[in-house]
Structure 1
Amino acid sequence: MKLIVAIVQDKDSQHLEANLVKANFRATKLPSTGGFLKAGNCTFLIGVEEEKVDDALAVIKKTSHTRSQYVTPTFLMPEAASSMADPVEVQVGGATCFILPVDKFVRF
């Protein structure tokens, strides 16, 4: 048994939730906030059998997309406020997944 901890952008979370259900994966969805842009994320906790990990990751990969977003450099580096005023493009989104071993799984 493995636990997949998948952190995705809010924009992808409902679509991912629906696709996980269609693929017969159970998940717990937790609201979270990213540290980089302080943007809303969702963290999914997905318990899967070891042989189904790649199937679950395929659903996550298919559903979670990267995007370009413009931010002001003062948001990224407050110390640069006076020297840089033009917005810069950054990549956001996608999914960050951690796969952890599960010693015991119990459902009540």
Structure 2
Amino acid sequence: MKLITAIVQNDDANKLIAALRESGFSSTKMSSTGGFLSSGNTTIISVVEDGKVDEEIEIIKKICKVKKKITAAIPPSSFSTVGGYLPQTIEVTVGGAVVFVTPIERFEKI
């Protein structure tokens, strides 16, 4: 058995959980916060049989696509916002998923 831990954007979480459920996978949803852009993330964990790992990862890839987002550039802390500093916007890549697959020695659903 394997533990699949997927860190995804909040925007993708509910759709991913629904797609996993439709394919017979159970999962647990946990809220989390990412360091980059301090954006909200969701961590989804699931325990699957060894032979089902690739199937679940394919579902994650299908739902959690990489996207472009326009955001304000954060000035260095030495900048003062006094004096009319206007932040510039930048395009960043967000989305996708970070997936960890960990061997499970024992699993019990009580």
State the TM-score, normalizing by the size of structure 1: 0.90
**Where is the helix percentage greater, Structure 1 or Structure 2?**
1
Unaligned runs of 5+ in 2: none
Look up the match of 2:102: 100
Percentage of pairs with the same residue? 41
Residue by residue over 1:36-95, the C-alpha shift from the partner in whole angstroms, topping out at 9 and shown as x without a partner, is 011111100010001100000011000111111112221xx5347478831110000111
Partners of 2:101 and 2:86 in 1: CA distance:
39
Equivalent residue, structure 2, for 1:87:
89
Do the aligned residues in 2 keep the contact of 1:32 with 1:43 (CA within 8 Å)? Answer: yes
Matched residue of 1:57: which SS?
helix
Q: Classify the secondary structure of the residue corresponding to 2:18.
A: helix
In structure 2, how many angstroms separate the alpha carbons of the residues matched to 1:84 and 1:96? 33
Q: SS where residue 43 of structure 1 aligns?
A: strand
Q: Which runs of 5+ in 1 are unaligned?
A: none
Larger Rg over CA atoms: 2
The number of equivalent residue pairs is 106
Determine the structure 2 residue equivalent to 1:78. 76
- Return the alpha-carbon distance in structure 2 between the equivalents of residues 20 and 94 of structure 1: 16
What residue is the counterpart of 1:26 in the other structure? 26
Do 1:73 and 1:80's aligned partners in 2 also have CA atoms closer than 8 Å?
Answer: no
Contact 1:73 1:81 in 2 (8 A): no
RMSD (Å), alpha carbons: 1.7
**Any conservation in 2 of the 1:7–1:41 contact (CA below 8 Å)?**
yes
2:13 matched residue in structure 1: 13
TM-score w.r.t. length of structure 2: 0.88
Q: Distance in 1 between matches of 2:43 and 2:98?
A: 9
